[in-house]
C-alpha cells in the first residue's frame, strides 16, 4: 500500500477525470485524449479517444502515471514544446515548460 501523503499528492497533481490531455505518439504526432480514470496503486492512467464516456467503444489506452509530463501533457502548448525540444536534444526543463516540466 502506498504512503497516504504520497497518494494525496498524486491525486491532487494528476489531471482531473474527463479533462483533455495531449499525448505524444511514437510517430511524433500529437493526439488529444480524455482522462477516464486512474489506478494509483498500480501506477496506471487510463485515457480514452472520445470525449463522451457513454460511447461503447471508447478507444481506451493504458499508460504509466510517470508518463504524465513526459508523453502526456495537460496543454497543447506543453506537448508541442516537449515534441519540438525532444527532436533537437534540449532538455524540456531548460526551456521553461509551463506545467509538469
How many angstroms separate the CA atoms of 59 and 42, rounded? 21
Residue with cell 506543453: 78
* Fold classification of 4-93 (topology level): SH3 type barrels. (2.30.30)
Residue 101 pLDDT: 44
Identify the segments of the chain with pLDDT beneath 70. Answer: 1, 88-101
Residue 48 pLDDT: 93
Q: So where are the chain's domains?
A: 4-93
Residue 23 pLDDT: 95
Amino acid at each position: 500500500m502506498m504512503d497516504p501523503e504520497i497518494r494525496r499528492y498524486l491525486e491532487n497533481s494528476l489531471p482531473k477525470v474527463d479533462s483533455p490531455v495531449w499525448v505524444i505518439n511514437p510517430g511524433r504526432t500529437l493526439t488529444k485524449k480524455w482522462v477516464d480514470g486512474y489506478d494509483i496503486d498500480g501506477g496506471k492512467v487510463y485515457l480514452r479517444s472520445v470525449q463522451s464516456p457513454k460511447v461503447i467503444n471508447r478507444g481506451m489506452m493504458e499508460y504509466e502515471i510517470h508518463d504524465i509530463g513526459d508523453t502526456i501533457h495537460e496543454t497543447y502548448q506543453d506537448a508541442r514544446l516537449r515534441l519540438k525540444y525532444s527532436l533537437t536534444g534540449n532538455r524540456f526543463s531548460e526551456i521553461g515548460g509551463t506545467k509538469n516540466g
